[in-house]
Chains A and B, each alone.
Chain A
Amino acid sequence: MASALRSTILRHIRIPVSQTLTLNGSKLGSGSGAVAFRLFSSHADDHLDKEEVSARVLDVVKSFPKVDPSKVTPDVHFQKDLGLDSLDTVEIVMALEEEFKLEIPDKEADKIDSCALAIEYVYNHPMAG
């Protein structure tokens, strides 16, 4: 009885096509919006891979004009091992800022005096890109 009633009612209901289309359309729209948002947020959340951070930090240091690229390893100290001075160190840290699109506050920047610390800092920075 109930099912007969239901089919009778359903047979008489007509939903205008245009309305369904709009509905689909808006669903589709919000769907792709969600995807775009997820892509964006996953980009911001995603930590860079440590290997990648390390390789890019070393590249920045190697490309510094006063540095002998063959001496650059993840363990080198800018001043003790590479013969740089504190002004050079400032320049390297600034170059790292540009490479990873960061702004490193003075207090932090003053502490970064080796490749190891630079890699550590960038790796732990949530905004490094």
Chain B
Amino acid sequence: MGVSSGPRLSGMQKQVLALYRGFLRVARSKSPEERHRIESFVSVEFRRNSKQIDGKNFQYIEYLLRLGKKQLEQLKNPDTIGLSSLSVNSSRIKRS
């Protein structure tokens, strides 16, 4: 969806950035190694999607947003120590 270059952000871009921020925030609550793993995984994932996905493909972006929010909720659970389960999920969601 083309990482934004202009100063004005669309509502959807804001949601994506808020989700990204949410992942980085939750990473802070995990162990240092896990934090690092989460940060690099999420960073790679968001950047890959931002390059590959057409910014006008709202439906697909909405879908990824919902998915990401769900994964973020799982990660917020203190019992979730890391995202190894998430990487399994994400390999399942290969784009159709």
Contacts and interface: CB of A to CB of B under 8 A. Distances in A.
A87 B47 contact: yes
B46 A94 contact: no
B18 A106 contact: yes
Size category of the B interface is: 10 to 19
Interface stretch (B6-14, B57-65, B68-76, B80-88): B6-14
Contacts of A87: 3, 17, 20, 43, 46-47, 50
Given A106-B14, A110-B14, A85 B21 contact: no
- For the residues of A in contact with B, the DSSP-based class is helix
8 contacts: A86-B9, A87-B17, A87-B50, A90-B17, A90-B24, A91-B24, A106-B17, A110-B17
Given A85-B5, A110-B9, 19 more contacts: A79-B4, A79-B5, A79-B7, A85-B3, A85-B50, A86-B3, A86-B17, A87-B3, A87-B20, A87-B43, A90-B17, A90-B24, A91-B24, A94-B24, A98-B28, A106-B18, A109-B21, A110-B17, A113-B7
A-B pairs with lowest CB-CB distance, top 5: A85-B3, A86-B4, A106-B18, A94-B24, A90-B20
Interface of B: 3-5, 7, 9, 13-14, 17-18, 20-21, 24-25, 28, 43, 46-47, 50
